[in-house]
Structure 1
Amino acid sequence: MTRETGALPDLPSLFEPVPLREGADALAHAAALAPSRGAGTLPWVRSASRVEAAAVLEPELPLRRARIAILAAASAALDALAAVGPPELPMQLRWPGTLTLDGAAAGAVRLLVPDGAAEDAPPPWLAVGVELRLSFPAGTVPGRHPHLTSLEEQGFEDLDAAALTAAWARHLMATLHDWEAGGFSVLAERVLARLQPEDWMDGACPALDLDTGDLLLDRGAGRGRHALGVPVLAGAEPPETSPGSASASGAGSFPGHPAGARA
């Protein structure tokens, strides 16, 4: 069962929530508000069928390292889901930003940075966003799109977009603190533990570049590098290249979703 509420419960004082109407783009709002409101701005969408939220950060790291914040957003989302979901349900990250439940896409994380931000300098701000499908639209035929799922379909109960948004924000704050206190290796260990194996990995042993967050795959004869900043569609092999200058990165909004199936 899903329900909609109008406030974010137990939200740390660091965050300034900005409620949005159904259909709004929380990440775009975060980018628009970032220059004037700064870190902690938290646009979120009031909805009974999906979670969509974004948080503005002001990193002190150069962009090539600050981009790792998208992995912190993913880890925080999976932590929030694990706290309220069925205990035996596999909850994983499909590289680089798709959130999966039992192998099917249920959401995504995204990253947005200012146009023209230099890789070797701290950006004035960046925004990380999360999206989760609470339920499919009424009339959706069960099993019609086996590569997609929803929290309701996977047995989550009493679904509340506001409560999950606040939980994601709390876990994000804790994850960013752990990253700052213990270094990226702490976050990397969590991400690798939840990384979903894919056919294009060829059974290689995955690791993360501790400087950039890039995925490294050791294949015996060589090491493949899959850049964190390059968008990847679900089921496709990511190109082995360095991140370009695109403003947005990550898996986008529910990669491969059919019309009408977006949360």
Structure 2
Amino acid sequence: MGWQLQSVPELDDDQFERWCVLLESRIGMQVAPHQRSFLQIQIARRVRELKFTGFDEYFDYIQKGIPGLMEWRQLIDRLVVRETSFFREPDSLEFVCSELRRRMAERSLEGGFDVWSLGCATGEEPYSLAMELNNCFEASGLAPQFSITASDVSQQALQQAKEAVYSSRKLEKISQENIQRYFSEIEPGFWQVDSGLQQRICFTAINLLDLAKVPMVPMDIIYCQNVLIYFRRWRRREILDELVTRLKPGGILVIGMGELVDWSSSLVTRVADNRVQAYLRCE
């Protein structure tokens, strides 16, 4: 008889702590006590699928050689929460568009408008940004001059984002005008993002713990929504300290409301807008 999911014992306190330490050291993910059951279920499924004898054998396996590294990536795809949707943060999206419109009015778009979407998951956020930015350019009668870098730690999520195919349910928050403009139904109930919009976005794998090692051109907008909540407060500060160095002079960092309320940096000032939590890079 093969290994059965129900036969696996629960993670004991020591095992749970080992997994928490490993996840935080590798990707910065903090596992709260109430997430213990979720962690156990996901690990147990991989133990069953790979026919290991238990949690400890699997734990040792993922730390050895290339096979272990490849399996680690498989596990991360299951553990990283990718709850997202199109136009999830309308106030933040409108804020970015207002900044673009201001620059267009001031004729200060030399070199284009570069945006970085962190924790992009399966792509809904960067595609929402791309639709809004493209609409702004078209409304102004200007040729689109923007690019979006979209990053995530999950290779599987990035692959889905690159494929750019979404179910009808996923499109429920998108206006009919935007659906007609930027999507085509490729089969009943499934829609493909317009290829021209796709070409505006570069999807890439980035671990936020390795930001200092990531080469990247300075950005006009760094859009970091609902990402910092997975990290400890001191690490959130480290991430933000690194991100602001990647802004162009006059660039703006946008984070989720309340994700870190007591952070400050000499490189930026808080934007006076109660709808969003954003920081302007000093000139």
> TM-score range with shorter-chain normalisation?
under 0.3
What's the TM-score, normalizing by structure 1?
0.24
Which one has a larger percent helix, Structure 1 or Structure 2? 2
The structure whose RCO (Cα within 8 Å, separation 6+) is larger is 1
What's the TM-score, normalizing by structure 2?
0.23
Larger radius of gyration: 2
